[in-house]
Amino acid sequence: MVSEDAVFKAIAHPARRGIIGLLAISARSVKELTAEFEMSQSAISQHLKELKDADLVASERFGLEQRYRLTPKPLQHVLKWSDGYRSLIDPSGHIWTLAPTSHKARQEPPKKRSRYGR
């Protein structure tokens, strides 16, 4: 299995995370991926190489084109790492409280007064 560091290095770039997202939906060719990004085909190919080196992507030849698909198993490293922070998520699972709330933010908002000052 590929190293944890290789996986984190591979997903560090936003374009590679975008490619992973697209490949999670369906296998695609370099040409199809290039159409989704504002970068050259050679840049997409370089990102695919990084993902392939981390075992996050596999390719298969179909006729003249190479089709790339996601191999998600190495993403277990990310899930395992993030699991250590699960206790920071509120019960509904929506908010991460990585930083303590400031004292001012915890205060109740001032009560609204009527237009007569009461």
DSSP codes, 61-107: EETTEEEEEE--GGGHHHHHHHHTTGGGB-TTS--B--SPPPHHHHS
pLDDT tens digits, the chain, 118 residues: what are they?
689 999 999 999 999 999 999 999 999 999 999 999 999 999 999 999 999 999 999 999 988 999 999 999 999 999 889 887 777 765 566 555 555 555 444 444 555 555 565 5
Q: Which of 36, 80, 1 is nearest to 48 (CA)?
A: 36
Q: Can you tell me whether residue 92 is helix, strand or coil?
A: coil
Predicted model pTM: 0.72
pLDDT at 47: 97
b/e per residue 4-38 (b: at least 16 CB within 10 A): eebbeebbeeebbeebbebbeeebbbbeebbeeee
Hey, what CATH topology would domain 4-75 get?
Answer: Arc Repressor Mutant, subunit A (1.10.10)
* Nearest of 62, 41, 44, 64 to residue 52 by alpha carbon: 44
pLDDT at 105: 46
Helix (H, G, I), strand (E, B) or coil at 82: helix
What SS3 state is found at 28?
A: strand
